[in-house]
Amino acid sequence: MPKSRVVFVCSGCGQESAKWQGKCPGCGEWNTLFEQTVAVVKSPSSRRTNANVPQPLTEIEITGHERIALQMGEVNRVLGGGLVPGSLSLVGGEPGIGKSTLLLQVGAQMAERSKVPVLYVSGEETRPQIKMRAKRLGINGDRLYILNETDLDAVIAEMDKLSPGLVVIDSIQTVYAPDIEMAPGGVSQVRECAARLVTWAKASQTPVMIAGHVTKDGAIAGPRLLEHIVDTVLYLEGEPFSSYRILRSVKNRYGSVNEVGIFEMKEDGLRQVENPSEVFLSRDRQNTVGSAVVPVLEGSRPLLVEIQALTNMTSFGQPRRTANGLDFGRLLIITAVLSRRAYLKLGTQDVIASATGGLHVDEPAADLAVALAIASSYKNAPVDPHLVAIGELGLSGEIRNVPQIDRRLAEADRLGFRKALVPAAARVKSPSPDFKLIHVRDIRQAIREGLTAQAREEDLPEETL
């Protein structure tokens, strides 16, 4: 029988302490240390092998380690080109968002395309339940093997027997290591199981994808150390009443981060969206008040997003500010700049701003579009429907330059827009002869150029009232 010891583990960061403390010494959170009994397993003595001998970098070969491209191009984009042999990828998301559906589709396509067995380990659903979902998704699965097991030692034994080309674990919170005296899903269990899967993946050069639950705060359940152990962290996001899903990369050791893949959830599973910009744009934007379009960058991909705003006379003493899909702090800054520099009397107005389509827009390049949408709603004057707005709004009202404007303009031109408000300091060329660039210095000039004829110079007084 292995010996056991009592430790206090932080549920937030996984920091272990020999005694209970009110404040975690690792992350600084209060009341997060819980008592856990951990078995002490004596590891066998390691012997030095040739594989452990230091080797010059010039003599190391990388043949046979090419990426494994999947049929779903959106997943390849988020992963940086495909699965890397020996990598461990974590897919997180809220319950019912489609994590199991995505992993089942990826496993089935991998088995069909590469002609190698794929092992799908499920600790949450039975074989008949998985078969029912596969039938609904139109998956045959000749080389897709289903295993209902939560004992990690038994799972690894089956992985060694089958020698699969891909392993899917659904989910990491359901599997457990028998020698760890702790319930499945606990801090020590999740950390130890992930570490052993990493060891197996590196040794066999087999990619492993695991599903992870998220907490009410939207973070991966379990210690933050779990995200440091894995090679790639993906989040599957979506609005509760929307059929669109966004797969976002927040960590990738083998590619760029902040890449996104756009999917639509249908009866036969997740389907790629060929033109993602159409998801975030209204089909009829003619004479729409309180709406502006901005080309944003999600990783290496430019997307056109519609920003909507609504101003209304407040019914309370304190006007409210509401942001949906936008940074609340940026909305407060933009509202203050419009009040002080553009002389819009927003002190008595509730301001509501939203990014359509379920995408969360964080970059400052959307400041000008948000400001135009608010000004359009306040003046009841629509923004030119053929215009996009690009620029960061400074505290003095100036329009500041943003990176990669040429790529944003090319996407706007491709979707039929013919005008663009850009910072005066931007040194860019028009993407086509019919595309007009309007260079603006400050927010007042941007409002005059961006709104239609209903907003004239006399609507923008030279001093506050």
Query: Do you know the residue count of the chain?
Result: 465
Q: Which residue's structure tokens are 């060329």? A: 429
Q: Please indicate if the annotation marks 93 as binding a ligand.
A: yes
Tokens of 129: 């339940």
Q: Cα dist. 414→47, 262, 295, 404 in Å? A: 61, 19, 12, 16
State the Cα–Cα distance between residues 410 and 41, nearest whole angstrom: 59
State the Cα–Cα distance between residues 437 and 423, nearest whole angstrom: 10
Which residues contact residue 267 at a Cβ distance below 8 angstroms, ignoring those fewer than 6 apart?
Answer: 136
- Backbone dihedral region for residue 14 (phi beyond 0: left; psi -120 to 50: alpha; all else: beta): left
Q: Please indicate if the annotation marks 98 as binding a ligand.
A: yes
Residue 262: helix, strand or coil by DSSP? strand
Helix (H) or strand (E) holding 5: strand 3-10
State the Cα–Cα distance between residues 177 and 259, nearest whole angstrom: 34
- The conformation of residue 43, written as its DSSP 8-state character, comes to P
Which residues contact residue 290 at a Cβ distance below 8 angstroms, ignoring those fewer than 6 apart?
Answer: 308, 309, 310, 311, 373, 374, 376, 377
Q: Please indicate if the annotation marks 97 as binding a ligand.
A: yes
State the Cα–Cα distance between residues 45 and 102, nearest whole angstrom: 41
Q: Please indicate if the annotation marks 99 as binding a ligand.
A: yes
State the Cα–Cα distance between residues 431 and 437, nearest whole angstrom: 9
Q: Please indicate if the annotation marks 354 as binding a ligand.
A: no
Alpha helix segments (H runs only) across 279-437: 328-341, 367-379, 405-414
Tokens of 147: 């295993």
Q: How far is CA 340 from the centre of its chain?
A: 35
Which residues contact residue 62 at a Cβ distance below 8 angstroms, ignoring those fewer than 6 apart?
Answer: none
Tokens of 415: 């979707």
Phi, psi angles (nearest 5°) of residue 173: -75, -10
Q: Please indicate if the annotation marks 394 as binding a ligand.
A: no
* Number of C-beta neighbours around residue 313 at 10 A: 8
Tokens of 366: 């959307």
- Backbone dihedral region for residue 286 (phi beyond 0: left; psi -120 to 50: alpha; all else: beta): beta
Q: Please indicate if the annotation marks 329 as binding a ligand.
A: no
Q: Please indicate if the annotation marks 74 as binding a ligand.
A: no
- The conformation of residue 175, written as its DSSP 8-state character, comes to -
Annotated binding site: 93-100
Annotated binding site for ATP: 93-100
